[in-house]
Amino acid sequence: MTTPRFVLASASPRRASLLAQIGLVPDAVRPAAVDETPRAGETPARHAVRLAEEKAWAVAVREAGAFILGADTVVACGRRIVGKPASADEARRCLTLLSGHRHRVHGGIAVATPSGKIASRHVETAVLFKRLTRDEIEAYVASGEWRDKAGGYAIQGLAARLVRGIVGSYSNVVGLPLYETVALLVGQGYAPAARFGR
């Protein structure tokens, strides 16, 4: 039997890199253009899952017979979503908000199957930032690493110096909870190669 195609519905190089790290390379990458504006009263967790589902569905209509993986990452302080900063000033505000506090990273993952079904999961990771000095904030903003990052930071980069600890999935904070993603794919009938090594 021919294994159905596996398609990643994301333009994020971090998600593609994370999948490659565990030997799961998509047959195609098809970014999905969806409106990422939160709905009134929508919780960060529900927002992340809804966007993952919408991305998977948007690509599924163009990729019949494939397994489609959609994902979204939302950083939140309480119910407040901390989005991707559009400027250095917004990045400063994000870092100031996160400084010295615990926040949550909500990962939404969704798999659209060849049979037209969709399954999704929510993964939550708690992240604790150290109390940042003004110089630390300015140095991080000057690095430019905050660009296109939920919450204005990249834990896999320079921001690792700012994080005191995490509780939960590290890869979820980077952009894709790997264990849960594989479990969801397998649960929906996709069988990635069960081998390790190169």
Q: What residues are labeled active site?
A: 72
What is the per-residue burial (b if ≥16 Cβ within 10 Å, else e) of 95-119?
Answer: bebbbeeebbbbbbbbbbbbeeebe
Token code pair at residue 183: 């479990």
Beta carbons within 8 Å of 166's beta carbon, 6+ residues apart: 125, 126, 127, 128, 155, 173
Distances in whole angstroms, Cα of residue 131 to Cα of each of 50, 62, 100, 101, 145: 33, 47, 4, 8, 19
Rg (CA), the chain: 17
Q: Please report where in the chains the tokens 């398609």 appear, as a residue.
A: 7
- Would you say 162 and 173 are in contact if contact means Cβ atoms under 8 Å apart? no
Residues 109, 173, 129, 39, Cα dihedral to 10°? -30
